Amino acid sequence: MSKLRVAVLGAKGRIGSEAVRAVEAAEDMELVAALGRGDKLETMVEAGAEVAVELTDPGSVMGNLDFCVRHGIHGVVGTTGWTDERLAQLRGWLDGSPRTGVLIAPNFSIGAVLTMRFARQAARFFESVEVIELHHPNKVDAPSGTAARTAQLIAEARREAGCAPQPDATATGLDGARGASVDEVPVHSVRLRGLLAHQEVLLGGEGETLTIRHDSIHHSSFMPGILLGARRVVTTPGLTFGLEHFLDLD
């Protein structure tokens, strides 16, 4: 059986360098390009890449995906910074290349995907829900893509269930003290040396609280999800948002 020809963009970065090693170690894949900032994207075409794993930064990801989709190279994207406008633009590109697939995964680790799923399930049963994400201090974006997605899923579940707005009597204080509001769910971002990627979802009701916590303690936690994404995206045209769609969770 022929091996899946994979390129990694952002190959010298923290997660990109781990992805290079994971693709090299996968028996059913061949690493055909490992590109860093400033390298020519045409290298991927010359190398016959079928899938590009995109792990760069929010300022680079759109240009890279525009190129990939135009050349029929499928994308597995971990880079953050997704807005509705960016997603609409990507969908437009994919409409023009109907056989190409792109997976955007706010988080590739199974524990983080399950945290999002459990938070969505629990959200309607509690009056209050807040998200705390904790990351290494080299991270350029806040809140994390995972926290933003978690808050959206929580808000969606609460809207569907007709939940009342969250109780909060705060009337005075410092700007930012209550975190950022993502779909009216407070999200708090901690940046601390020693951490990698962590998240807590705090839920509170009458006389009880529930805390759902996930910790990625090594970049290896993201690798099975990246490899699964690469295997599945080649037969899944269009945009897939969230690794859960490839995990058969229900």
Ligand X SMILES: O=C(O)C1=N[C@H](C(=O)O)CCC1
Ligand Y SMILES: NC(=O)c1ccc[n+]([C@@H]2O[C@H](COP(=O)([O-])OP(=O)(O)OC[C@H]3O[C@@H](n4cnc5c(N)ncnc54)[C@H](O)[C@@H]3O)[C@@H](O)[C@H]2O)c1
Interacting residue ranges for ligand X, rule: CB under 6 A: 80, 106-107, 135, 139, 144-146, 197
Residue with Cβ nearer ligand X (49 or 226): 226
**Least gap, CB of 87 to ligand Y (angstroms):** 15
**Comparison of 108 and 126: residue with beta carbon closer to ligand Y:** 108
Is 88 marked as binding a ligand?
Answer: no
Q: In whole angstroms, what is the distance from residue 181 CA to residue 34 CA? A: 37
Question: Which one, 13 or 158, has the nearer CB to ligand Y?
Answer: 13
Cα-based distances in Å from 100 to 49, 70, 81, 93, 217: 13, 9, 22, 10, 33
Which one of the listed residues 40, 71, 74, 139 is annotated catalytic? 139
Residue 225 counted as an annotated binding residue: no
Identify the active-site residue in 135, 188, 214, 219.
135
Binding partner of residue 16 among ligand Y, ligand X, none, CB cut-off 5 to 8 Å per kind: ligand Y
Q: Which does 135 bind (CB under 5 to 8 A by kind): ligand Y, ligand X, none?
A: ligand X
For residue 102, which of 9, 205, 199 has the smallest C-alpha distance?
A: 9
CA-CA distance, 202 to 210, in Å (whole number)? 6
What residues does 183 pair with on adjacent strands?
A: none
30 vs 57, which CB is nearer to ligand Y? 57
Dihedral class, residue 179 (left if φ above 0, else alpha if ψ from -120 to 50, else beta) = left
Question: Radius of gyration over alpha carbons of the chain, in Å?
Answer: 19
Q: Is 108 annotated for ligand binding?
A: yes
Q: Is 135 a catalytic residue?
A: yes
Smallest gap, in angstroms, from Cβ of residue 186 to ligand Y?
21
DSSP line for 138-194:
T---SS-HHHHHHHHHHHHHHHHHTPPPPP----S--TTTT-EEETTEEEEEEE-TT
Q: Which of ligand X, ligand Y, none does 12 bind, CB closer than 5 to 8 A by kind? A: ligand Y
150 labeled binding residue: no
Residue 139 falls in the annotated catalytic set: yes
What is the rounded distance in angstroms from the CA atom of residue 11 to the CA atom of residue 34? 5
Annotated binding site for NAD(+): which residue ranges? 10-15, 78-80, 105-108
Enzyme catalytic residues: 135, 139
